[in-house]
Amino acid sequence: MSVRIRAAVPTDARAIAELHVASWQATYRGQLTDGYLDGLSAEDRLRSTRDSIERAGPGRRTWIVEEGEQVLGFAVTGSSEDADADADRQTGEVYAIYLDPERVGTGAGRALFAHVVGDLRERGYLTATLWVLGSNERARRFYEAAGWAPDGTVATECVDCEMRPTIRYRADLV
């Protein structure tokens, strides 16, 4: 498979929003209620996705991985927004990474993840973090295979009207 990774542009917003919904519906089936997942809509995410790309703050980047003209996945990175992040902002964060459910296991997600981590490193971040739903075993295995590990920080996030545990993963970038 020959994939290309590039910075997202506003015209990618629809593909990203559609992929985001499809990924949630496949990934979280059995972890979140079917009613919640079935109610997700790319149309509902489209405006915020486009705004996120167009109005990205300094250091916030959205990347896509594509094959030909087909968007296979996306990731969003920047400075960590955690309250305990280094005061000098030397901690980067992978805010989101999602892949077309039909492309899981093809290497596209690994290529995208390696790219965004490399980009954080090149920008001078010394460590990086990400948050993952505690019940998302597949994603946790993916991050652990890439050398990331839970750092002991657990929070809760309101998803589907329930508080769900999220686990912070961390990796040294130096």
Residue 172: name the closest of 116, 92, 81 by CA: 92
Enter the tokens of residue 1. 């498979």
pLDDT per residue as tens digits for the range 82-111: 988 876 669 999 999 999 999 998 999 999
Side-chain half-sphere exposure of 146, counting CA atoms within 13 A = 27
Name the residue ranges covered by the structural domains of the chain. Answer: 4-127
Q: What is the spatial distance between Cα 130 and Cα 136, in angstroms, rounded to a whole number?
A: 13
* Beta carbons of 140 and 166 less than 8 angstroms apart: no
**pLDDT < 50 stretches in the chain:** none
Topology (CATH) of 4-127: Aminopeptidase (3.40.630)
pLDDT per residue as tens digits for the range 21-42: 999 999 999 999 999 999 999 9
**Prediction pTM value:** 0.92
| Type and span of the H or E element at 109 | helix 108-122
pLDDT at position 86 is 72
pLDDT at position 84 is 87
